Structure 1
Amino acid sequence: NNCRAGAVFDPEKSPCCVGILPELFRKRPGVIRSLHPTHSIAAFGSSAAEYTAYDNDPSTVCPPDGCFGRLREIGAKILLLGVNHGRNTYIHSVEESLGLADRLTEGKTPLLVRMPDGGMKEVSIQLHHCSKARDVSAHYVKLSDAFEALGAARRVKFGDADCILCDAAKIYEVCEKIFGIEPDAIIDRETIPEEWWK
């Protein structure tokens, strides 16, 4: 668990915690993994080093100026493979970008990152926290209808797996619209009123 005080994150050796495909991908030749101790990303291609560097000095789990926060700027698509929006980490980043209250711990937790040269770097970050919900991301599924109706997400198949393909910029826009009306709507309500997003 990379979220406990003093935990060491080694981008070369620490396994991914979000499934076998990201774990296999990060081990491929030429893939670069970011140095974020709790929410690292892996990237491949000519801009991989530049992009992963946005996570070199994180202050929160999904900072607006970090890799997750910049997904909408680069026109990214997000594939939720066999899971629903309750596993859509990008929405945490959207909440941070929009400045939603009660989404992060008050204080920072000191974590350690093993650097490429073998040295250790301490990084202190605010972790996920919501006083109204043990796991706020479990409520993200309440946004599904709005995402699909507004073209921010659509159901697709990958092999036999049911998946959701998301447009990062449109996901942001839908969240901005709904959270702008009521920041805690996904927690306080059973459903999101259609008139808020139609």
Structure 2
Amino acid sequence: MYTKQLLQSQLEKLGIHKQGTLLVHSSFKSIGEVDGGPDTVLDSLSEYMKDGLLVLPTHTWSYIDGKNPIFSVEDSPTCVGILTERFRKRKGVVRSWHPTHSVAAIGKDATAFTSGDEKFDTPCARGSAWGKLLDRQAQIMLVGVDLRRNTFMHGVEEWLDIPGRLTDTHESLYTVLPDGRKLSVPSRRHYGLSWSEHFWKVEDYFLQLEAMYIGTFGDAEVRVCDTVKMTEILTEMLTIDPELFSDNEPLSEKFKQEFEAMLSR
């Protein structure tokens, strides 16, 4: 059974920067048996990052849409796991106001980090929390999940304006603030195909080029990603082939040759 102290020692071994910014995507079940359950996991992360910033996604994209357009910052549950739902309700945690792709944070600059997402009409705008992860050279920890759950990669595609990723039209969505005010947040959506299901294709290069490494947290296999290096690699890859993630096939030999030639320049 894992204790808070054991989990924190694993965070140390993983090379998580205590004074940095850490975003965690997670599968609680993958961690194994924890003394105290989800709250112990959150305690271990929050205390380890007490001099930095801890961020978890609190997405609601699975059910906030044109037919159900009201997102409540205080009351709308997350659709991305038990740890995220428990985290958003914790004392001192601040949640952003984006109706479908909110995040919650605690620690250094949490209010500034989560502010302003409702001003953008896309899920992962460069000026939103997702872009701030890059500005802060954040680490992303994928606990028991793989690159297919790495929302940051959607952000890179969005910043590069990759065709076909977002709807041209807006849905009329609304955010209800803790004080009861209701904001109109017209929003474009991720379009059609679930592009993220194909993000696995670049894992080998992420590992080879040290944008990611693999370790453990509890029983879970963990991928620790560097936002700066990921962005650099994905920018080069998507310059070569904007349709890189349009299918579920491995990278072609032609693509590998072009990419490796680009790296050698």
Aligned: 1:36 with 2:36: no
- Measured after TM superposition, the shift of residue 63 of structure 1 is 0.8
Q: Which residue number in structure 1 is paired with residue 109 of structure 2?
A: 47
**Alpha carbons 2:92, 2:106 under 8 Å: kept:** yes
Q: Which residue number in structure 2 is paired with residue 180 of structure 1?
A: 239
Task: Please point out which of 48, 57, 79 is paired with 1:17.
Answer: 79
Aligned: 1:26 with 2:88: yes
Deviations 1:71-95 (A, max 9, x none): 1110111111111111111111110
Q: Which residue number in structure 1 is paired with residue 143 of structure 2?
A: 81
Structure 1 alignment gaps of length 5 or more: none
Superposed counterparts of 1:81-160, under 5 Å:
81-130=143-192, 134-160=193-219
Please tell me the residue identity of whatever aligns with 2:205: A
What is the distance in 2 between the residues matched to 1:54 and 1:70?
Answer: 11
- Measured after TM superposition, the shift of residue 6 of structure 1 is 4.7
Identity of aligned residues (%): 38
Q: Which residue number in structure 1 is paired with residue 124 of structure 2?
A: 62
What is the distance in 2 between the residues matched to 1:194 and 1:138?
Answer: 20
Aligned length: 195
- Measured after TM superposition, the shift of residue 115 of structure 1 is 1.4
Please tell me the residue identity of whatever aligns with 2:246: I
- Measured after TM superposition, the shift of residue 112 of structure 1 is 1.2
Structure 2 alignment gaps of length 5 or more: 1-62
**Alpha carbons 1:146, 1:194 under 8 Å: kept:** no
For the pair shown, the structure with the greater C-alpha radius of gyration is 2
What is the distance in 2 between the residues matched to 1:186 and 1:76?
Answer: 24
Deviations 1:144-188 (A, max 9, x none): 111111111111111001121111111111100100101002225
Scaled by the length of structure 1, the TM-score of the pair is 0.93
What is the distance in 2 between the residues matched to 1:24 and 1:42?
Answer: 11
Aligned residue for 1:110, secondary structure, equals: coil
Q: Which residue number in structure 2 is paired with residue 161 of structure 1?
A: 220
Please tell me the residue identity of whatever aligns with 2:119: D
Stretch moving more, 34-43 or 113-122: 113-122
Structure that is richer in helix per residue = 2
Please tell me the residue identity of whatever aligns with 1:3: D
What is the distance in 2 between the residues matched to 1:169 and 1:44?
Answer: 22
What is the distance in 2 between the residues matched to 1:164 and 1:3?
Answer: 31
**Alpha carbons 1:143, 1:186 under 8 Å: kept:** no
